[in-house]
Amino acid sequence: MESDLQKTLASLKESSSYRYLPIVDHVSSYNFQSNDYLNLATNTALFDAASDAMKHYGFGSTGSRLLSGNYDMLTTLEESLATFLGKERVLVFNSGFQLNSGVIPTLYGKNDLIIADKYCHASLLDGIKFSGATMKRFNHNDMAHLNDLLQKNRSFYKRCLIVTESLFSMDGDRAPLKSFQDLADKHYADTMVDEAHSLGVLGEAGRGLCFQEGVSPTYIVGTFGKAMGSCGAFIAASTIVCDYLINCCRAFIYTTALPVPVIAATNQALALIQHMDLERDHLHVTARYFTKMMKQKSYDLLGDHHILSLIYPGNRALLDRYSQLKDAGIAVAAIRHPTVPKGKERFRFSLKSSHTKADIDYVVEQF
């Protein structure tokens, strides 16, 4: 068996697709690969909340939510987040991948149709595959193609789910949520919108793009490991759906709940993000400045907000430049094929509210 594994690893190295675990300096001003958009991961208020909770409850949750892991602060988090998002109920999971890969197969099956944007996150696509439902993919943000798929396929299935991200994690562009929801309503389809990269950063008080666009999908999913500086994930839906997941979702039932300090820190982060308009404004100004400065050097960046990508084709060429940037003290994500299509390899810059124009100028100089 190990010889077969070694052959696969050798092939990955040959194509410059081999992955390794980098050590990143998260304190550096030139860290552009962190999803900590509002710098909450280093906010002392989160430290204090986590410390106080540990003194009272201990560290580990000691069991699943259905056994000993359902702390009152976790219920408070769910209730607060439901109110924040304007949904009936929220259910917290341990990670975005656990949620997306576990929830979709619980709610949909082989007799259903699921249509997803081609740029949806891998965890969403895995969840669809695990469900056994018929899967169709529509061209990225192409509502005409989505409508065509619905017209040709919807009538053959009792239930249909359409899946998208609100702000896409690779290109940094926004989904046309109103058109998306209108098509779903027209064809009697459920909707799932992943708000992982917009929550905390976009919309009034950081409520995300669904709130900003005035749409209410069947399910909003998101994570706490981006702008909220913590970890874990959530689904916001109806009370009936959440009750069903508590009873039937194996990914929820058979896992130990999040550690106590994580829950406490996330509660604190949720309270803080609602009052961080200055940080959000600074983040958007910095993103526009970065785009402007790179354009002056004849580089066009993909992205509308705090996620900006520079297409740099070829795994080998990308890694060579990545090494040069690392030597210059710049940490940036080098996204290779097969994570993105061949020829669409890129540097993905995740901007933070702590980045300054001087930081941007230094990065631009390296290109």
Q: Is 169 a catalytic residue?
A: yes
Catalytic pick from 36, 117, 173, 194?
194
Catalytic pick from 87, 121, 136, 352?
121
Q: Is 194 a catalytic residue?
A: yes
> Could you give the 3-state DSSP secondary structure of residue 114?
strand
Q: How many CB atoms lie within 10 A of CB 26?
A: 11
Q: Is 165 a catalytic residue?
A: yes
Tokens of 351: 């901007």
Q: Are 164 and 180 in contact (CB under 8 A)?
A: yes
Catalytic pick from 34, 101, 169, 350?
169
Catalytic pick from 87, 187, 197, 306?
197
Q: Are 265 and 44 in contact (CB under 8 A)?
A: no
Report the alpha-carbon distance of residue 245 to residue 237 in Å, rounded: 11
Q: Is 197 a catalytic residue?
A: yes
Q: How many residues does the chain have?
A: 367
Catalytic pick from 35, 95, 198, 315?
35
Residues 6+ apart with CB under 8 A from 75: none
Report the alpha-carbon distance of residue 281 to residue 40 in Å, rounded: 16
Catalytic pick from 112, 117, 165, 359?
165
Q: Is 226 a catalytic residue?
A: yes
Report the alpha-carbon distance of residue 270 to residue 224 in Å, rounded: 9
Q: Is 139 a catalytic residue?
A: no
Residues 6+ apart with CB under 8 A from 234: 78, 81, 90, 91, 92, 93, 99, 221, 222, 223, 224
Tell me the Ramachandran region of residue 170: left when phi exceeds 0, alpha when psi lies from -120 to 50, beta otherwise.
Answer: alpha
Phi first, then psi, for residue 118 (nearest 5°) are -65, -20
Check the CA dihedral 15-17-23-25 and report its sign.
positive
Report the alpha-carbon distance of residue 216 to residue 271 in Å, rounded: 22
Q: Are 286 and 351 in contact (CB under 8 A)?
A: yes
Contacts made by residues 321-329, CB under 8 angstroms, sequence distance 24+: 321/347, 322/347, 324/366, 325/366, 328/30, 328/366, 329/28, 329/30
Catalytic positions, written as ranges: 35, 121, 165, 169, 194, 197, 226
